[in-house]
Structure 1
Amino acid sequence: MRKFFKKWQNRFLGYVISDRKRPRQNRERVGQNLMILAIFIFFVFIINFVIIIGTDKKFGENLSEKARDVYQTTVTVQAKRGTIYDRNGNPIAEDSTTYSVYAIIDKSYISSTGEKLYVQSSQYDQVAEIFNQQLGMDKEEVLSQLRQKKVFQVSFGTKGSGISYSTMSAITAAMQEAGIEGIAFTTSPGRMYKNGIFASQFIGVAQLHENKDGTKSLIGTSGLEASLNDILSGEDGTVTYEKDKNGNTLLGTGTTVKEAVNGKDVYTTLSEPIQTYLETQMDVFQAEAKGVYASATLINAKTGEILATSQRPTYNPSTLEGYDEGNLKTWNTLLYQSNYEPGSTMKVMTLASAIDSGVFNPSESYSNSEGLTIADATIQDWAINEGSSTGQYMTMAQGFAYSSNVGMTMLEQKMGNDKWLNYLSKFRFGYPTRFGMGNEATGLLPSDNIVTIAMSAFGQGIATTQTQMLRAFTSVSNDGVMVEPQFISKLYDPNTDTSRSASAEVVGNPVSAEAARQTRDYMVTVGTDPYYGTLYSDGPIIQVGNESVAVKSGTAQIAAEDGSGYMTGSNDYIYSVVAMLPSEDPEFVMYVTLQQPEERFSALYWQDVVNPVLEEAVLMRDTLLAPAANETAQQTEYHLDDVIGKNPGETAEELRRNLVHPVVLGTGSKISKVSKKTGSNLAENEQILLLTNNLEKVPDMYGWTKANVETFAKWTGIKIKYRGSDSGTVIKQNVDIDANIDDIKKITITLGE
């Protein structure tokens, strides 16, 4: 090995001295080599520089991004969440700001003039004292935070967060008086519900949600706040700031990267005065009745606008007191998220259908003493079931006032099961309203069983929601024309100073105007007939001044959760009442329910809530019945998304949230055709057809525009013959709804203004 290294050493030395030059020549040669090396390095630098400039990368890293990370910071600018108003512009839910305090303790944080901008160690005790007085913080905990090493700033946990503006101002003033620098605040969005308990389940709550970038945003978690979250939320913006060599943000260097788009304001149909009054009376009602659940809703009889709605138990959205699953899941609303058997208030629709179909003879008499047997079941009246009566003769008109199950079942049998089921479809039972609120229950039509179908005539064997009942009631209160429940009166976009305003949405015509008027007349006898009236006790129980009120009470058994039948407790019932005022031409419909009162139910309980609220509504009728909100000069645009293949129910809800009137054709799970092109701007209250992938029955075309009738004809190949006016909307069709569409070749349509 030594010989090997010696050999190579000799070869290297031989190479070095083989071409010896004079010192001067060696210097020249070295100089030449150094110049060549310098030129080579220069070109390497130039090439590298060109590559960096051209690609903005080195070693696979984006250099601009790295520079920005060192010398820039990006801050999210949170969009303002839209305010929720009542119909007259009184705020119900609006943004508020909360503050979190922090202290800068890094001694390098000084101004250009040398002023110390951090909390000095000699001031720690003063800071702890101020925080103790203003925030209730333990002084030792404050001091332990301030004494941390090698950190720029410190925060102070939950007690240092969620601070109100007044407390923040007080802390700032105290620090200034003590000459303490370095105490500052960050802001967080908050939501203020100044009315406390105020349609709480319906309005819902928005709560702070932490985003991926560490910022916090308000997200609707229940009620309207959740259903309209996309409309209320807006879109956050971003701003970049320069940073100094120590990584501290330099104020005044902000550059807007993306403008924040504030959320839209939502004007509801609720009225603050009548809603507040309803809440007060619901407390009185619940204190007396002591129900497991209680609910009450007041609507405009002509438009379907929800003027007030409440339930018990409830919660305070400001404090969240009562907002928990243990309190009967109080974030759910009985208005549209609960299926139940409605009981005898369904008889309003049974009577209207019987009159409309011509089978109701008010003077026809019958005896209820032995009930009515259908198949293997015998239907009895309530008084016989209670043992308070052995039966009696009465007329059909008296039977309605008496809330006779036997009489109403006889009417259903005269109509025939198919005809009655057809009327239930006309009233749109079994179909969710899709009125714009999420997580809506569907309701259920009676099963294919002659006994269950017969029982549905008196409100058992059929499941509904309160919004479905209210929708059906409007056909009786509105002379046969059924309208969609509404809770939005206007959407206002503050970014463009534009708005969209709602108008009534017609969704059917189940019965004739004459049938509706006669039904209301018979409803009056429920409260005025001293012998048969179920809402008469030494006078009308439901009484509003000298007004004539159309009323109907209801009592329904509650299905057992295990599906074994009905609950059997003495108070295991859902009691309800509907009132239409005035009966001749109703302006208001009020619907109240009470589930499982603690003690034996008395119809007199209704006087605690129905009478005073309707009296107040009559006094306020001018403001309650006036258009809810003024339009702005320009209408907000709403462009139709590509909805082909999407769920028709969810699409209908989204359209209604943006004040478009959808008509869903068929019962399919996907949309196959739409009457408007994707991307087209839909005007407020514009009617749009959504054809599903399963259209088997002829739809109710009442209220359709002529253009939509022609679109329907094009889709189905059915020929249309027109009568009446040249334009306007459909007021009559000669083919009944639910007819097999494959059997129909031609339909005659009557148009009216």
Structure 2
Amino acid sequence: MKNLKKKFLDYVIGDRRTPEKNRERVGQNLMILSIFVFFVFVINFIIIIGTDRKFGVNLSKGASSVYQSVQTVQAKRGTIYDRNGNPIAEDSTTYNIYAVISKSHVSTSGEKLFVQPSQYDEVADIFQKYLGMDKKYVIKQLSQKKLTQVSFGTKGSNITYSTMSAVTKAIDKAKIKGVAFTTSPGRMYPNGTFASQFIGLAQVKEKKDGSKILAGATGMEAALDKILSGKDGQVTYQKDRNGNTLLGAATTVKEAENGKDVYTTLSAPIQTYLETRMDAFQEKAKGVQASATLVNAKTGEILATSQRPSFNSDTKDGLNAKGFTWQNTLYQTNYEPGSTMKVMLLASAIDKGVFNPNETYNSAEVKIADATIKDWDVNEGISSGQYLTYAQGFAHSSNVGMTNLEQKMGNKTWLNYLDKYRFGLPTRFGMGNEATGLLPTDNVVTTAMSAFGQGIGVTQTQMLRAFSSVSNDGVMLEPQFISKVYDPKTGTTRSAQKEVTGKPVSKEAAVKTRQYMVTVGTDPYYGTLYANGAPVIQVGNQSVAVKSGTAQIASGDGSGYLTGSNDYIYSVVAMVPSENPDFVMYVTLQQPEHFSVTLWQDVVNPVLEEATLMKDTLLSPVETPKDQQTKYRLSKVIGKNPGNIADELRQNLVHPIILGTGNKITKTSVDSGSNLNENEQILLLTSHFETVPDMYGWTKKNVKKFEDWTGIKVTFKGKSSGTVTNQSVDVGKNLKKVKKITITIGD
């Protein structure tokens, strides 16, 4: 220890100098230290300037948070219009109600700015009256402890301006403080009950950063969400040293891109009229479900569609109605169609050459394997059977007659026609979440029963697609609900044209089928739509092709069919005028309390009469100059589901042709990244492609692509340009058995 002390003292005094020398030495050391500190600051300054970071912190970002505020600029959601530009769904501001309940919330003068416990009951009364809230729920929310303010769930959100104003007026009149509103982006549906399940709803969703956006929740709003949704922008505001925003100091960081506007094929006047007639129809029938759709017979455009129960999209009235469902009966439900399927059966029989209108048969019954099929009047005890010609049998909706025709064709041939009509495959017309339908099982009885619409599952869009082949002289059309899409960013538009999906039967077969459909409503003895001395379906003095249907409903437990007196789905299809139809109307009614064929007069007749009066407006096409066409590029679709891609393509007004029934796309006729023109055809080859497709309407270019993919030798005849009008090999033949095919090109 002594040695250590001695060494320390020697070090301290070993270099002892005079006071002047010590001051000089200290000065030198301070100068060296100052130079060192200076270089430390310079190096740090260079690092900060070069990296904008210190100790892992972004310095600019930190400074911006003090002197700048960044706000999201919400993109406008695209507007949904009818075909003539009348708004169906458009952006608006909605309100969310809240109540301050903290007793510390008082003004500087001591005024209570919160809802007082003595006012809870009165607030609950106001909320119940204007917002439909349960009083007990309101009081429970207001009575919560240790909270500053409370909200009121879904019924306290998305409130319209008129309702907000009414609540505010009532609260002010009651001299209640503490009730207020916040604003949110909203969606306005000015037409109320207007194809409500079909159009659907957009609702407010909260993003991770706390901002709110409108997103499609149901119907068209959900299906077209990518098209309707825009991209939010950002703007920065400068703040002073006290944190106050400086007016006029805004800088746009990223421009907001508004969503695209969609013009539907719906017509507001005829849709509104259909809604009123459906109300009258349902009031009498009181069906569990009812639906009606009006279609342009020459284009497949859906001009009006509705169902019951429905709801008011603006006020939300009807959501709690008995039997209400969010499912759209147009495309989301499978059902057995009944005798309206006989339209396609007759057209097929005529096309195949097995229908002799004057040949007779006994309508009592026909046996298929272990099953006995009888006519409706025999089942009801009205008749024990009678001798009918096949023409009379169709007018009388004879199950026996139609089964006989199916047997004359043969099961294989009839199933092939069902494939040509594309039953068993969803239409993929662009709405998504579509039911698939169900072909008859591999059973001779169910195949025979499908001739009169039992043992087969369909959707209404599938039926409308099949009906179009009869109304449009054999040429089948894809149902359409978009007439054009407008892009506000570029000021350009994509417009729709009709999409041909095949030709199941000849023009002659379609024309003759419509002629026999006329007798269903005009034959005073056999016609099922002739009642009280007159046709049930009448549209002025025009000839109308009609067919009714009565289908049993399968029980949910798979034990057979329901047996109640009204456990049926009644339906009717009408094409007017029968000689060259402009319109097709299809109406269904499930399990009504009361039914008579004359009920159809409450909805079919007036709507078709109104449509005829509006014919020039309803049937006028939408045109867009080619140089104003919005570009659309094909994304990478190889390996993806062909059905989903078909929906997306049709939403962008491209015509996909799916080859095969595989669940993955293996090849496309257009390369990924290529621009696709509006209404351009594109082939999508799937992982399971075995039979010859219906090439009617294909471009010559796509036929050559088919030749390249399959190795089948194609010979062309007819015109040098145009589309396919005929093929030498029938649809459905196994590709492995085909070596060559002749294709006729025409207009």
Q: TM-score, normalised by structure 2?
A: 0.90
- CA spacing shift, 1:123–1:617, aligned 2, 3 Å: farther
Counterpart of 2:249 in 1: which secondary structure? coil
Residue 64 (structure 2) pairs with residue 68 (structure 1) = yes
Counterpart of 2:534 in 1: which secondary structure? coil
Distance across 1 between alignment mates of 2:396 and 2:387? 11
Which residue identity lines up with residue 108 of structure 2 in the other structure?
S
- CA spacing shift, 1:532–1:165, aligned 2, 3 Å: closer
* Equivalent position to 2:631, from 618, 623, 637: 637
Residue 329 (structure 2) pairs with residue 358 (structure 1) = no
Tell me the equivalent position of 1:253: 249
Shift of 1:633: 5.6
Which residue identity lines up with residue 656 of structure 1 in the other structure?
R
Distance across 2 between alignment mates of 1:331 and 1:679? 37
Q: Report 1:39-438 matches (<5 A).
A: 39-98=35-94, 121-122=108-109, 157=151, 187-323=183-319, 327-369=322-364, 371-438=365-432
- CA spacing shift, 1:123–1:535, aligned 2, 3 Å: farther
State whether residues 346 and 513 of structure 2, in contact with CA within 8 Å, keep that contact through their aligned partners in structure 1: yes
State whether residues 309 and 324 of structure 2, in contact with CA within 8 Å, keep that contact through their aligned partners in structure 1: no
How many percent of aligned residue pairs carry the same amino acid?
70
Residue 558 (structure 2) pairs with residue 571 (structure 1) = no
Counterpart of 1:662 in 2: which secondary structure? strand
1:605-635: CA deviations, max 9, x gaps? 1111111111111111111111146658611
Q: Which moved more, 1:532-541 or 1:58-67?
A: 58-67
Residue 520 (structure 2) pairs with residue 526 (structure 1) = yes
* Equivalent position to 2:618, from 618, 624, 639: 624
Which residue identity lines up with residue 509 of structure 1 in the other structure?
K
Residue 689 (structure 2) pairs with residue 702 (structure 1) = no
- CA spacing shift, 1:136–1:402, aligned 2, 3 Å: closer
Shift of 1:246: 4.4
Which residue identity lines up with residue 472 of structure 2 in the other structure?
N
Tell me the equivalent position of 1:740: 734
Distance across 2 between alignment mates of 1:29 and 1:166? 86
Distance across 2 between alignment mates of 1:164 and 1:456? 50
Distance across 2 between alignment mates of 1:322 and 1:330? 10
Which residue identity lines up with residue 340 of structure 1 in the other structure?
Y
1:733-752: CA deviations, max 9, x gaps? 01011100011111100011
Which residue identity lines up with residue 607 of structure 1 in the other structure?
Q
State whether residues 97 and 151 of structure 2, in contact with CA within 8 Å, keep that contact through their aligned partners in structure 1: no
- CA spacing shift, 1:283–1:186, aligned 2, 3 Å: closer
Distance across 2 between alignment mates of 1:427 and 1:162? 44
Shift of 1:444: 0.7
Aligned residue pair count: 715
Distance across 2 between alignment mates of 1:192 and 1:268? 17
Distance across 1 between alignment mates of 2:77 and 2:455? 44
1:670-706: CA deviations, max 9, x gaps? 1111111111111110111111111100100000000
Distance across 2 between alignment mates of 1:355 and 1:168? 63
Shift of 1:194: 0.7
Distance across 1 between alignment mates of 2:300 and 2:404? 31
Shift of 1:565: 1.2
1:255-290: CA deviations, max 9, x gaps? 111111101111000011111110001011101111
1:41-98: CA deviations, max 9, x gaps? 1112222222222222222222222222333222111110111111111111111123
Counterpart of 2:714 in 1: which secondary structure? strand
- CA spacing shift, 1:207–1:536, aligned 2, 3 Å: same
Give the aligned CA root-mean-square deviation in angstroms: 3.1
Shift of 1:248: 4.2
Unaligned runs of 5+ in 2: 101-105, 117-121, 129-137, 143-147, 170-178
Shift of 1:167: 9.0
Hey, which bits of structure 1, 4+ residues long, moved more than 6 A?
100-104, 125-129, 135-138, 166-173, 183-186
* Equivalent position to 1:661, from 655, 658, 681: 655
Which residue identity lines up with residue 94 of structure 2 in the other structure?
T
Shift of 1:128: 9.2
Counterpart of 1:567 in 2: which secondary structure? coil
Tell me the equivalent position of 1:449: 443
Distance across 2 between alignment mates of 1:351 and 1:723? 31
Shift of 1:566: 1.0
Tell me the equivalent position of 2:508: 514
Shift of 1:645: 0.7
Shift of 1:169: 9.8
1:231-261: CA deviations, max 9, x gaps? 0011111112223444444332221111111
Shift of 1:172: 13
State whether residues 638 and 664 of structure 2, in contact with CA within 8 Å, keep that contact through their aligned partners in structure 1: yes
* Equivalent position to 2:575, from 580, 593, 598: 580
Distance across 2 between alignment mates of 1:439 and 1:703? 27
Unaligned runs of 5+ in 1: 105-118, 146-153, 174-182
- CA spacing shift, 1:136–1:405, aligned 2, 3 Å: closer
Shift of 1:567: 1.1
